[in-house]
Structure 1
């Protein structure tokens, strides 16, 4: 079993590969344990969205990453905030390094390359982001809904702050949320 790389070594590799597309970085450190204290380090990077695929490929060059999560957030502006979190060296006890990459994706260009060809387990996260926020993943083969009904209208995304009328599309089979709150 090989030794894990330090957070500084991982950052250096990302800087070499991404250049100016790595916009900023932050190293976070946590101490855990009572008798035997251990330090856990995280690397948070802000990248240009055009460098997203290359950043993921670099992590695969370093180690096979464990996907923690993929999420997106709409703050109501002109872009969505995308966050991808991976664990490197997760198979080495106390060697895991969390790498979280963030970037803004303009709402007028909500397209990202899929990473399911590198990591099949990303499919569920990509499908969820696609149906809830409207991000299109180029190369994603399975585009069926995960959570919304099959007859959900195209172009309506429940997690978007610029979305209106979603409540009218939700089918209520029993009592509405408001009826429950009022105790009816």
Structure 2
């Protein structure tokens, strides 16, 4: 049994109430010969309702995790989670996108890897690139950055300027090599 985007939103509203700050139901037409409709539920929630929102989605159907990402918006990191429900039904999938802001002085969220192991890669990426800590995340090794990357440096943050102190200088510059050889730089 699949639910419509409206029915999914109604169930989430029952669980989350006033923690839903804003929402929009979107619909897209795709295809030419056999046009189909793709539906989405977009919700902005209070950050305190994050775990309840995820658990509410799991009560409806085991979701497919599309992605977890974050965006530096100045004083906060905007977190964006995207899931698909009823993805096993061709053209029956409904996407749910949840957004909320984490102040930069409170960058901690509970992990969702206890509900969905596949979230680990996304959480590790957000942790190393934006500095969000995921309480309960067992594997905190870097995913993309080298192991000796400086603590407190987050490449996706707007408050990071320049890369000189982030780059491991292992090669000599052309200028240094020419100087050692006694060549003139030109």
TM over 0.5: yes
Task: Report SS of the residue matched to 2:3.
Answer: coil
Residue aligning to 1:45: 43
- Larger CA deviation: 153-162 vs 115-124: 153-162
Q: Quick one: which of 44, 64, 67 aligns to 1:66?
A: 64
Report the equivalent of 1:181: none
Shift of 1:166: 3.4
Let me know the Cα RMSD of the aligned residues: 1.6
For the Cα contact (< 8 Å) 2:46–2:100, is it kept in 1? yes
Please name the residue that 1:145 is paired with. 142
Contact 1:156–1:166, Cα closer than 8 Å, also in 2: no
State the partner residue of 1:156: 153
Q: TM-score, normalised by structure 2?
A: 0.89
Query: What number of residue pairs does the alignment pair up?
Result: 174
Cα displacement (A) at 1:173: 4.9
1:82 matches 2:79: yes
Q: Which has the larger radius of gyration?
A: 2
Determine if the alignment matches structure 1 residue 106 to structure 2 residue 95: no
C-alpha separation in 2, matches of 1:36 and 1:164: 50
**Please, what TM-score do these two structures have when normalized by structure 1?**
0.90
For 2:65 and 2:167, locate their aligned partners in 1 and report how far apart those are by CA, in whole Å. 31
Deviations 1:125-167 (CA, angstroms, capped at 9, x unpaired): 0000001100000000000001111111111111111123534
Structure 2, unaligned runs of 5 or more: 174-185
2:113 to 92, 113, 116: 116
CA contact (8 A) 2:153 2:166 kept: no
Verify: 1:96 aligned to 2:93, yes or no: yes
Q: Residue 58 of structure 1 aligns to a residue in which SS?
A: helix
Q: Is the contact between residue 68 and residue 81 of structure 2 (CA under 8 Å) also seen in structure 1?
A: yes
CA distance in 2: counterparts of 1:137 and 1:163, whole angstroms:
21
Gaps of 5+ in 1: 177-183
